[in-house]
Chain A
Amino acid sequence: MIRTRRRILALVGALAATSALAACGSDSSAPGGDAGPPRPGGTLRYGLSQAPTCSDPAQAGTNQTLYVARQIVDSLTDQDPQTGRIEPWLARSWEISPDAKVFTFHLADGVTFSDGTPLTADSVRNTFDSVQRLGAVKSPLGASYLTNYVGTTVVDRLTARVEFSRPNAQFLQASSTTQLGILADATTAKPAEQRCLGDNIGSGPFTYAGWRQDQSATLAKRIGYHWGSAVFAHRGEAYLDGIEFTVVPESGVRTGSLVSGQLDAISDALPQDVPQLEAAGARLLTTVNPGVPFGLQANVTRGPLRDPAVRKALLPAIDRKQLVDTVLGPQFNAASGPLASTTPGFQDFSARLAYDPAAAKGILDQAGWVPGGDGIRAKNGERLSFSVLFSQAFAGNQAILELVQQQLRQVGVELKLDLVSSPESTARQNAKDFDITYYNTTRADGDILRSVFGVEGRNLNARERIPALDDALDGQLGAVDAAARTALIRTAQEQVLEAGLWIPTIELSQAIGAAANTRDLKFEASARLQFFDTWLSGR
């Protein structure tokens, strides 16, 4: 009986795999096309650009940490990077209550953690309870996904009911994230610091084999793994025997190591290194980070940016295409709204964000900002001048803002650049000590709008309540129906632009360099790497 069910599951899985593969298509094709069928074996050597901060999936925040932690942990669900749809993984099916407060997950049978213990509804409860205990300091993302978490009830061995005190429609997508991946009791019973030392136990296709903080992390294939997500392209175990992540901070050294065959894939390949990579037969895998693209967020309590007309005039004053063409290169896109184009629920506002300096001038003229002797406008003795707080978290930031500075000058706006270290930028953002700040945020769900712009969210605008916006942001959390939720998320995007809360510039892209022998290295829906389908040819 069990065998038949498994066979049916395998069949369903195979079908899902075929369709997923058909959907992916482009990113898995390698030059030459003579790769043949995937071959198991080999250890992939990967160069990270920064040290992972902690080995615990629940505490992972940065991309480089997630690239490692994602491989050792499975989540209840998976998100298809092509369609944005939520697909089965450890949970084969689920129900959501009409008020979006109760989520019931039916777990796959026969799943074990790498220490041999079985996956049960207790594991789900212990995992979520432990994320709640880690809290917003140790697991800022995990804790935010579990806002208003009441608890998890073990209905039976393989059924877990997760309850919230208020509607939380974003939780279904959150259940696909690395931070809410399901861990064994051996890990969830430990305190936060002890979960960072590289012995975390998950049910994922790889397990930790070595962890040296700030240096390297080694993963080994999990033998007997057969519960991959419906998004994966194949069934069974991973192809790679192992993955060796080494921290190589210098981008030139990463590129040189890839070209000279000392690494198989690298993080953060720089646009200027692309010719060198391509000359050596390597290629650049890119994907757009979902979430809120790069943009300017004004503190509406300070200086000329208090005037909504000034904020709205900035929208057509920026030539986004020029930013991409001049500074970044073809793997990047201009932003076309408050959400990046790969985020479910994204709406294209590119017409409204078209470069139109005359329109920007018109708005400012009408609002009474008159050009002064040096071309910079003023109103009632106040100069139309403000400074932008930013850090070099993304290498292109400074060059982009210098160009924005020139573009704004054309319409009579003075932008001063205030470059600080990442820690200082965070501190000043938290203290709301800036005129306008520049950054981006990754999340493959429209709920990121509530986190960033909600009056009870991070709200770096320091704004008061705007009913049309806040109703939409709160409303989408209660909307189980996908179409209704998308409509509310679209309203919210429109309201953010309408109030000039976000001046989008460019979409961040991940640029992974992959040697010719590295096949099918894929991005998951949140633009992080998934190595399950990856294989090595000709080594």
Chain B
Amino acid sequence: MARYVALRVLQAIWVLWAAFSISFVVLYLLPADPVSIAADGGGAGTPVDKAAIAELQARYGLDRPLWDQYTTALGNAIRGDLGLSISTGRPVTEAVAEAVPATLGLASLALLFATLGGVTLAFAATYTRKPWLRNLLAALPPLGVAVPTFWTGLLLLQVFSFHWRLAPAFGGQGLRGTVLPALTLAIPIGAVIAQVLAAGLESTWRQPFTEVALAKGASRWWVQRKHVARPASLPAFTIAGVLVGNLLAGSVVVETVFARAGVGRLTQTSVLAQDIPVVQGIVLLTSLVFVAVNLAVDLLYPLLDPRIAARGGRSGEATEAEDIAEEVLVRV
């Protein structure tokens, strides 16, 4: 087990380094120069002073050779210093740290809604034996994935904020201000959970042991609860990493529509301004979250399915759960 954990931690560090390096290369290869953008002052129409740009480039170290910038930035990043934002001049760590709590609150509530909704939907769809209801419920997840997030958000605002005035339309903090954006964000994520879980439930229902249980006189509900639920939930658990990705990507749109502060808005504004240090800080944060979630999943996996620990880790041999998860993701 110790070796398993050590291996996973090393893997996590490697992923972080790769994310830093790849984003560095990609961002610095972009055609636009962040300094002349910052110097343009909102399209002022005045000539951009060459000497002033050179001075600013020196201030941000952009005039040094690329490898030198890279090693310095990597060294600083390891010490927790991500540099200064080019557009606002604030330390990147400060800007990112300030954005995290709001997004964390939003994402947690969204994940809660998504799990409740997704699990209920999947259980209902696989439990019912009425074909029309089953088909109706099975059609909902693809719809949830397909509907654009900004459209859902505007619709919810139109009804609950502009018409009924139950929730603030923008900048909302606290539970009342977070429900609508969390609901918006939860829909595509709940849809993925529902889809993966439903596929897992269906395939588990087809396993011989359920028939044995039913033959012994157990009710469908008891079998679903005692025999089907746990093995079927493994694929849904496996895609936690993907869900985290969806949450972060979705927060860009949701935080913009609901005018909330957070990582999504910070991403959007700093990409628009090509504020490379901030964008890189966000890439690092995102990969850190990914790595942490996947590490947690890897470490919790053996607890849910003892067979995995016996085989020495899930990466050794693809489990059935992962097969289902992959199959569903391809369909999604």
Q: Is B37 an interface residue (CB 8 A)?
A: yes
User: CA A250 – CA B157 in complex, angstroms?
Assistant: 12
A291 in contact with B161 (CB, 8 Å):
no
CB distance from A312 to the nearest CB of B (A): 23
A53 in contact with B49 (CB, 8 Å):
no
- Complex interface: chain A residues within 8 A of B70 (CB): none
- Complex interface: chain B residues within 8 A of A238 (CB): none
Q: Is B138 an interface residue (CB 8 A)?
A: no
Known: A196-B88, A259-B162. A250 touches B36 (CB 8 A): no
Interface residues of B in 40-56 (CB under 8 A from A): 40-49, 52-53, 55-56
User: CA A192 – CA B163 in complex, angstroms?
Assistant: 44
Binds A, one of B61-69, B72-80, B168-176: B168-176
A214 in contact with B265 (CB, 8 Å):
yes
- Complex interface: chain B residues within 8 A of A448 (CB): 45
Binds A, one of B105-113, B236-244, B267-275, B293-301: B267-275
Which B-chain residue is minimally distant from A139 (CB atoms)?
A: B41
- Complex interface: chain B residues within 8 A of A47 (CB): 170
- Complex interface: chain B residues within 8 A of A426 (CB): 32, 36-37, 40, 43
- Complex interface: chain B residues within 8 A of A259 (CB): 162
Q: Is B23 an interface residue (CB 8 A)?
A: no
User: CA A69 – CA B80 in complex, angstroms?
Assistant: 34
Q: Which of A213, A247, A262 contacts B90 (CB 8 A)?
A: A213
Interface residues of A in 12-70 (CB under 8 A from B): 47, 51, 53-54, 59, 61-63, 65
Interface size class of A (residues with CB under 8 A): 35 or more
A422 in contact with B272 (CB, 8 Å):
yes
Q: Which of B42, B45, B257, B274 contacts A53 (CB 8 A)?
A: B42
Q: Is A114 an interface residue (CB 8 A)?
A: no
User: CA A427 – CA B273 in complex, angstroms?
Assistant: 12
CB distance from A217 to the nearest CB of B (A): 12
Q: Please, what's the 1-or-0 string for B25-47, where 1 marks a CB less than 8 Å from any CB in chain A? A: 00000011111111111111111
Which B-chain residue is minimally distant from A439 (CB atoms)?
A: B43
B170 in contact with A459 (CB, 8 Å):
no
- Complex interface: chain A residues within 8 A of B40 (CB): 61, 140, 426
Q: Please, what's the 1-or-0 string for A212-230, where 1 marks a CB less than 8 Å from any CB in chain B? A: 1111100000000000000
CB distance from A230 to the nearest CB of B (A): 27
A144 in contact with B43 (CB, 8 Å):
no
B88 in contact with A262 (CB, 8 Å):
no
Interface size class of B (residues with CB under 8 A): 35 or more
- Complex interface: chain B residues within 8 A of A135 (CB): 49, 52, 55
Q: Is A368 an interface residue (CB 8 A)?
A: no
Q: Is B84 an interface residue (CB 8 A)?
A: yes
Q: Please, what's the 1-or-0 string for B225-266, where 1 marks a CB less than 8 Å from any CB in chain A? A: 000000000000000000000000000000011110100011
B45 in contact with A193 (CB, 8 Å):
no
User: CA A59 – CA B87 in complex, angstroms?
Assistant: 11
Q: Is A441 an interface residue (CB 8 A)?
A: yes
Most chain B CB inside 10 Å of its own CB: which residue of A257, A423, A456:
A423
Tally the A-B contacts, defined by beta carbons under 8 Å: 165
- Complex interface: chain A residues within 8 A of B307 (CB): none
B37 in contact with A253 (CB, 8 Å):
no
Which B-chain residue is minimally distant from A193 (CB atoms)?
A: B89
- Complex interface: chain B residues within 8 A of A430 (CB): 33, 36, 48
Q: Is A401 an interface residue (CB 8 A)?
A: no
Q: Is A451 an interface residue (CB 8 A)?
A: yes
Q: Is A458 an interface residue (CB 8 A)?
A: yes
A292 in contact with B52 (CB, 8 Å):
no
Which B-chain residue is minimally distant from A443 (CB atoms)?
A: B45
Interface residues of A in 62-116 (CB under 8 A from B): 62-63, 65
- Complex interface: chain B residues within 8 A of A59 (CB): 41
- Complex interface: chain B residues within 8 A of A452 (CB): 45
Q: Is A326 an interface residue (CB 8 A)?
A: no
Most chain B CB inside 10 Å of its own CB: which residue of A140, A144, A192, A248:
A140
- Complex interface: chain A residues within 8 A of B38 (CB): 137
Known: A193-B84, A214-B265. A256 touches B47 (CB 8 A): no
Q: Is A329 an interface residue (CB 8 A)?
A: no
B36 in contact with A262 (CB, 8 Å):
no
Q: Is A406 an interface residue (CB 8 A)?
A: no
- Complex interface: chain A residues within 8 A of B53 (CB): 137
Most chain B CB inside 10 Å of its own CB: which residue of A192, A247, A451:
A247
B273 in contact with A458 (CB, 8 Å):
no
A144 in contact with B52 (CB, 8 Å):
no
Q: Is B311 an interface residue (CB 8 A)?
A: no
B269 in contact with A256 (CB, 8 Å):
no
B261 in contact with A215 (CB, 8 Å):
yes
User: CA A213 – CA B157 in complex, angstroms?
Assistant: 24
User: CA A194 – CA B84 in complex, angstroms?
Assistant: 12
Q: Please, what's the 1-or-0 string for B155-168, where 1 marks a CB less than 8 Å from any CB in chain A? A: 00110011101001
User: CA A423 – CA B274 in complex, angstroms?
Assistant: 7
- Complex interface: chain A residues within 8 A of B31 (CB): 424, 427-428
User: CA A164 – CA B42 in complex, angstroms?
Assistant: 26
- Complex interface: chain A residues within 8 A of B46 (CB): 136, 140-141, 143-144, 451, 457-458
> Can you list the 10 inter-chain pairs with the closest CB atoms, starting with the nearest?
A193-B89, A441-B45, A61-B41, A61-B42, A136-B49, A140-B41, A62-B42, A427-B32, A256-B162, A136-B52
25 contacts between A and B (CB under 8 A): A61-B43, A136-B49, A140-B44, A141-B46, A143-B49, A193-B84, A193-B88, A215-B171, A248-B171, A249-B259, A253-B170, A256-B157, A257-B162, A259-B162, A261-B165, A291-B45, A292-B45, A421-B272, A422-B272, A423-B272, A423-B273, A423-B274, A426-B40, A426-B43, A458-B48
Binding site for A on B (CB under 8 A): 31-49, 52-53, 55-56, 84, 87-90, 95, 150, 154, 157-158, 161-163, 165, 168-171, 256-259, 261, 265-266, 269, 272-274
